[in-house]
Amino acid sequence: MTDTLYIQPLTFVSGPQAVAGDAVRLAGGMVYAREFAVIVRRDDAVVSREIATAASIEDSFTRLPDELGPEAQRQWSALRMEHKPLELGDRTIRLDQPQVMGILNVTPDSFSDGGKFMDDPEEMQAHAARMHEAGAAIIDIGGESTRPGAKAVWEGEEIERVRPAIERCVAMGAAVSVDTRRPAVMEAALQAGAHIINDVSALRYDPRSLEFAASSEVPVILMHAPGSGENLHADGEYGAIAFDVFDFLKEARDRALAGGIAQERIVLDPGIGFGKSLADNLNILNHLPMYHALGCPLLIGASRKRLMGALSNEAAAHQRAGGSLSLAQLGMNAGVQLLRVHEVFETVQARNVWRGLRDAALTDFTGLAQ
């Protein structure tokens, strides 16, 4: 039997001054955590769980099995890590506040906007420009639908879909990520000017992907999905979903590191909606702060996902803006660095208001002796 460790941030405060300094800045962002659960799991059972604050957590580590001590220190350091900005061509994307990634699907069968921008290049460019002008730090362009039941796309066709969209977005000065799992598409996209590889298979779909991603020296987004072949939604069986996703992302991170991808170029995505039930998705979302212990920036892509329909009388995808903003807010409160969304203008506005509140909280000394 093997023991595994998790450090889960539990409670949050407006700033360290609110608790006499007994809080930490989570992942270099604008969120401050005070209490943490130090959890030991054996197989699928939690065998110990101790609550500590920043002031007492080192003492908690002394009561862990000896073999877990180094991992505890790594995770504790990662929770407090300040992430370097993403350098994307001429653009620098700071990760000390949430950044918005706008979705641009050039597919005929996307669950939300299939065909809308694929068949009308001018409308596609206008939509991309609206997202860029509204404050999207990155535009994420995908040429293959990964919804459940979607058919696989030949890589040549996928390239023909994404290349003109990437070229148009780059020409308007946008930072661009390409949403693909095929190395030939990755290469064509980077040649067209894309700056980030966003692989929903975490570089597992094609054995050539890891080597190419490492040699490209661009940031890479690694997402959790239970399936490893054509159907990424397959094999979604879990013992404890939040911990299982953590373990998967840890393994994906370590595989990328061993393959030559620098840690500062790795972004992790828990894969909301991929091979997960409603309960699974909600569990992961409620555990988002724990994933900072992996030491990489986080991305969530929950916009318009099926879970919102399940919680709101089966509202259609285009009627899920309220739920999408609610989950974007959850991500901000969890310290997530990248929010992949359809409603860019509304999410950027929500982020700006959220940031104003966070800035004000840091200078609020109400109740303290002057």
Chain centre distance of CA 330? 13
Of these residues, 305, 306, 351, 358, which one is catalytic? 305
Query: What torsion, rounded to 10 degrees, do the Cα atoms 86, 89, 92, 93 define?
Result: -50
Other C-beta atoms lying within 10 Å of the C-beta of residue 224: 25
Other C-beta atoms lying within 10 Å of the C-beta of residue 1: 6
Of these residues, 168, 340, 351, 358, which one is catalytic? 340
Determine contact, residues 48/39, Cβ cutoff 8 Å.
Answer: yes
The answer to whether residue 250 is catalytic is: no
The answer to whether residue 305 is catalytic is: yes
CA-wise closest residue to 335 among 282, 297, 283, 280? 297
Give CA–CA dist 161/309, Å, rounded: 29
Outline where the chain has alpha helix (H).
57-61, 69-79, 121-134, 155-171, 183-191, 208-216, 241-258, 278-286, 306-310, 321-333, 344-362
Q: Which two tokens stand for residue 85?
A: 């900005």
* Catalytically annotated residues: 305, 340
